């Protein structure tokens, strides 16, 4: 039976790209009994029912799985935020970074609409926040072409997911990298300060260089369900590397004495805003465990 990759899912149909072409498939009812759903990015086995149509009968094991956006087997996350309209929301950015780290994804922070920024120091301040964590920060503009070639080179030979708040320019970026995709884009609402959803489902697009990218709907928040308190610090790289120097094993870097992370924050080696977000997320995890 043919094997392939689910490249998009619409209204209960899964579109599977195989060596024989693309198949429109339903999923077997057994998946529902197992409380399992096929995801875009899954490698699956298809049982043909008629020409061009079939049934997904098996799902291969996943190397990674994201909830929002829902996609499997991603290797790299391009976390997109815009410098203007809407402006960068670091708390939201940090939420996605936690989830990317949890799935052991390579991460690129991409700042769009660089042509709207007059002062280079704005970008420098953001880069200073994430340099200690080891995250590369790339500034782009679809109007001037800034950073587009560099971003495209980072996508080769990987399955990358583009994710970010609505209106930050994910689809515009993908159109600049892959013009033939002709993805729909929308303007940012001046009243609400956020974009309209122009991407309705997750879809994997093939790149000429051999890589793949996933266009996804914008997201507004990511929760930390099923995450343990002790796992959160591991998702902040600049904290994780210092954890072994804390006095207590399993230190939560909150009120514990002789905490290497808190000492690094006081010395300015870890960004204070990132640390505040860590404490906020830690409190959310504790609150969720109570209910």
CATH of the domain at 266: 1.10.40.50
Residue 235 counted as an annotated binding residue: no
**How much is the average pLDDT of 34-41?**
90
pLDDT score of 223 more than 90: no
pLDDT score of 221 more than 80: no
pLDDT score of 163 more than 90: no
Return the pLDDT at 197. 38
Return the pLDDT at 218. 55
Write down the mean pLDDT value for the chain. 88
User: Count of CB atoms within 10 A of residue 275's CB?
Assistant: 19
Residue 170 counted as an annotated binding residue: yes
- Lowest-confidence range among 101-105, 167-171, 191-195? 191-195
Return the pLDDT at 200. 63
95 and 200 assigned to the same domain: yes
pLDDT score of 66 more than 90: no
Residue 172 counted as an annotated binding residue: yes
CA 191 to chain centre: 27
pLDDT score of 149 more than 60: yes
Structural domain including 43 reads: 3-59
Which helix (H) or strand (E) is 277 found in, with range? helix 272-290
Residue 110 counted as an annotated binding residue: no
209 and 104 assigned to the same domain: yes
**How much is the average pLDDT of 34-42?**
91
pLDDT score of 184 more than 80: no
Looking at the DSSP bridge assignments, the partners of residue 78 are: 108, 162
How does residue 195 score in pLDDT terms, banded at 50, 70 and 90? very low
pLDDT score of 188 more than 70: no
Q: pLDDT tens for residues 250-276? A: 999 999 999 999 999 999 999 999 999
**Which tops the pLDDT comparison, 36 or 46?**
46
128 and 254 assigned to the same domain: no
Residue 169 counted as an annotated binding residue: yes
234 and 206 assigned to the same domain: no
191 and 101 assigned to the same domain: yes
Residue 112 counted as an annotated binding residue: yes
The answer, yes or no, to whether the previous bond of 94 is cis (omega within 30 of 0) is no
**How much is the average pLDDT of 35-60?**
94
What pTM did the predictor assign? 0.83
CA 76 to chain centre: 8
- Tell me the torsion sign for CA atoms 86, 207, 184, 146: positive
148 and 243 assigned to the same domain: no
Return the pLDDT at 119. 82
210 and 75 assigned to the same domain: yes
Number of domains in the chain: 3
Return the pLDDT at 33. 82
- Lowest-confidence range among 16-30, 39-53, 221-235? 221-235
Residue 271 lies in a domain: yes
Q: What percentage of the chain carries pLDDT values higher than 70?
A: 91
Return the pLDDT at 9. 93
Residue 223 lies in a domain: no
Q: pLDDT tens for residues 74-122? A: 999 999 999 988 889 999 999 989 988 988 999 999 999 999 988 888 9
In the structure encoding, which two tokens stand for residue 274, read together?
């990132």
Residue 259 counted as an annotated binding residue: yes
Residue 165 counted as an annotated binding residue: yes
Residue 167 counted as an annotated binding residue: yes
What angle in degrees, to the nearest 10, is found between the helix axes of 272-290 and 90-102?
A: 70
């Amino acid at each position: 039976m043919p094997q392939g990759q689910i490249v998009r899912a619409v209204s209960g149909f899964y579109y599977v790209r195989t060596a024989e072409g693309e198949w429109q498939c339903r999923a077997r009812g057994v998946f529902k009994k197992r409380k399992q759903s096929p995801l875009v990015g899954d490698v699956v086995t298809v049982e043909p029912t008629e020409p061009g149509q079939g049934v997904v009968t098996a799902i291969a094991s996943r190397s990674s799985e994201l909830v929002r956006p829902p996609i499997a087997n991603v290797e790299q996350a391009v976390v997109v935020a815009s410098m203007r309209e809407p402006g960068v929301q670091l708390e939201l950015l940090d939420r996605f970074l936690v989830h990317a780290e949890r799935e052991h994804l390579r991460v690129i922070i991409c700042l769009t609409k660089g042509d709207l920024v007059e002062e280079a120091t704005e970008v420098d301040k953001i880069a200073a926040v994430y340099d200690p964590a080891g995250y590369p920060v790339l500034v782009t503009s679809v109007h001037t072409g800034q950073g587009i070639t560099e971003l495209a080179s980072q996508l080769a030979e990987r399955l990358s997911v583009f994710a970010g708040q609505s209106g930050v320019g994910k689809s515009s970026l993908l159109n600049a990298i892959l013009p033939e995709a002709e993805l729909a884009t929308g303007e940012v609402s001046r009243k609400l300060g956020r974009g309209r959803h122009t991407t309705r489902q997750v879809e994997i697009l093939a790149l000429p260089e051999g890589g793949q990218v996933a266009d996804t709907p914008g997201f507004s928040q990511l929760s930390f369900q099923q995450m343990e308190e002790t796992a959160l610090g591991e998702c902040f790289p600049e904290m994780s590397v210092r954890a072994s120097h804390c006095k207590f094993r399993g230190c939560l870097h909150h009120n514990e004495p002789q905490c290497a992370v808190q000492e690094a924050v006081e010395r300015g080696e870890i960004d204070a805003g990132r640390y505040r977000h860590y404490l906020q997320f830690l409190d959310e995890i504790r609150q969720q465990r109570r209910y």
